[in-house]
A and B are shown apart, each in its own frame.
Chain A
Amino acid sequence: GQNIDQPTEMTATEGAIVQINCTYQTSGFNGLFWYQQHAGEAPTFLSYNVLDGLEEKGRFSSFLSRSKGYSYLLLKELQMKDSASYLCAVRVYRGSTLGRLYFGRGTQLTVWP
């Protein structure tokens, strides 16, 4: 199986910066994704990393180190609407198939005013 670990909960205040970490152990790694999921809704795509380094997209940035099996999602200028669960997911090869996507348990972020 895949071992994908991320903190269960985090809290932060409006306007602050928060970093959500994710570590993984897997074979056949082919990309790491971050998703946002509001309660009772389906996950929505936030970011993608397949090479080492930082990808920036507005208030959200994601970093990947393949040698360390480590990623983080950085959220800046936090807003109340950012309160949600953030899911780290790893895509892997297995056999002759591509594209299996495995998720961590998610980090529930609560933003306080």
Chain B
Amino acid sequence: SQTIHQWPATLVQPVGSPLSLECTVEGTSNPNLYWYRQAAGRGLQLLFYSVGIGQISSEVPQNLSASRPQDRQFILSSKKLLLSDSGFYLCAWSVALASRGAFFGQGTRLTVV
């Protein structure tokens, strides 16, 4: 069976510090991978989308970047965090045209102070 691991669950970081969130998927090959952010009381905003190693699409201009060094590994990074980067970050995977959409990791609650 497929599983998705995302860590850490919570993170408190000072403004200007770097960020690295990691997500790995097990039990499937060549998944589509996603990074979403959810601000308090808001919906999920698609940040990055990847269909393969090294293939990253950025949805919105921002202070963040993503990388996919391996087929089932997706990393969200920032060189210098801003207060506005606070939120609930969710990694997800899917296979193209699957009838169940995307499966989500447990999420990371990031607070920038």
Contact = CB atoms under 8 A, between A and B. Distances in A.
Contacts of A100: 46, 49, 57
A105 B97 contact: no
A87 B101 contact: no
B94 A101 contact: yes
B106 to A, nearest CB: 6
A48 B94 CA distance: 14
Report whether over half of chain B's contact residues are helix, strand or loop; otherwise say mixed. Answer: strand
B97 A42 contact: no
B57 A97 contact: yes
Interface residues of A, number: 26
Instruction: Bin chain B's interface residue count.
Output: 20 to 34
Contact of A99 (B32, B36, B45, B103): B32
Given A42-B106, A42-B107, A30 B44 contact: no
A104 B101 CA distance: 15
Nearest to B88: A40
Contacts of A89: 44, 101
Contacts of A50: 99
A100 B47 CA distance: 11
Given A97-B49, A99-B94, A48 B43 contact: no
Interface string B25-52: 0000000101010000011111001010
